[in-house]
Amino acid sequence: MVIEMNSGLIRGLGTVVVFVAFVGLTIWVFNRKRTPEFAEARLLPFADEPQPDITQA
C-alpha cells in the first residue's frame, strides 16, 4: 500500500496538529493549578517600578 502525499493530506495533517496544539494550550491555560501564576502575571501591566526611598538627613 502506497500512501500518496498530496496537498490535501498535508493540509489535513496540519489541521490536526494545530487543533491538538490548541486543545493542549487551552487545557494548560485553564488548569486550576496555574491560577496563582496567571493572577500575578495578569497584574504586571499595572506594576510600577519601585521608587527610590529618598530621605534627607
Cell for 19? 487543533
Q: Classify residue 2: in a domain, yes or no.
A: no
pLDDT given for residue 22 in this prediction:
98
**Is 19 inside any structural domain?**
yes
The DSSP symbol for 46 reads: G
Residue 55 counted as domain residue: no
- Tell me, yes or no, if the pTM score tops 0.85: no
Task: Quote the number of domains for the chain.
Answer: 1
Q: Would 52 be classed as within a structural domain?
A: no
Q: Is residue 34 part of a domain?
A: yes
pLDDT digits (tens, 9 = 90+) for 6-41: 888 889 999 999 999 999 999 988 888 888 888 888
Burial of 26 (0-12, 13-18, 19+ CB in 10 A): exposed
Which cell numbers hold the place of 41? Answer: 502575571
Q: Where are the beta strands (DSSP E) in 1-57?
A: none
Tell me whether residue 28 is in a domain: yes
Residue 29 lies in a domain: yes
**Does 1 fall in a domain?**
no
Residue pair 28/34 in contact (Cβ under 8 Å)? The answer is: yes
